[in-house]
Amino acid sequence: MAYSALPTWPLILFGILEPVALCVDFRVFWAYEKRLVLTVGSISGYITVLHSPAQYYADQTPNAELSKLVFTSQALSLTLQLGNVLLLLAAVAIICCWTIHPEISRRYLIVVALADLGHIYAAYRGLGDSTFWDPTQWNDMAYGNIGASAFLHINRWLTIAGAFGKLGSLTRDGRKKQ
């Protein structure tokens, strides 16, 4: 059985849910009752990029019509490379979250928390000021790039700060050190 230095909630979030979301895709959208609904779709995910790279590319900004976009060979190459990075990040997340070494998990969370900010900034630059600050204009990809990244970012820092329990290693008999 695999062990982790992470407390239960961060382990579930960063060691299971996030790697799955990086490989398999979910669509997030607002229902008219303002409820957040998850369905199979395209926030991120290696599978989406491989299955429909042009659509994944178009979804990076709201209201982009695939039929009107010029999807060059360079865009195809970059989109597929991004998909490969998503798969790589999923593997790194599993390795760094399912370790008994707290310093590995802590450093991973710090690095990825900083990367979350870069991810949100990239979304800001791509969407523009008015769309970025108006969630009513977002598509499912923008909700993932901004909302999900912000949620993960906050949870990473709360984990590092010990809000969900101390990062710790296991003793030889399998119990966490306190």
Q: Across the chain, what does the average pLDDT equal?
A: 83
Kindly report, residue by residue over 42-77, the tens digit of the pLDDT. Answer: 345 777 788 888 888 888 888 888 788 889 999 999
Kindly report, residue by residue over 78-101, the tens digit of the pLDDT. Answer: 999 988 898 899 999 999 999 999
Q: What is the DSSP string of 44-82?
A: S-HHHHHH-HHHHHHTTSTT--GGGS---HHHHHHHHHH
Q: What is the pTM of this model?
A: 0.81
Q: State which amino acid sits at residue 56.
A: Y
d(CA 37, CA 17): 16
Residue 21: pLDDT band (50, 70, 90) is confident
Q: Which of 167, 157, 162 is nearest to 109 (CA)?
A: 157
Mean pLDDT of 114-127: 95
Q: Give me 21's structure tokens.
A: 């979301």
Instruction: Delimit the domains of the chain by residue range.
Output: 8-161
What pLDDT, on a 0 to 100 scale, did the predictor assign at position 69? 86
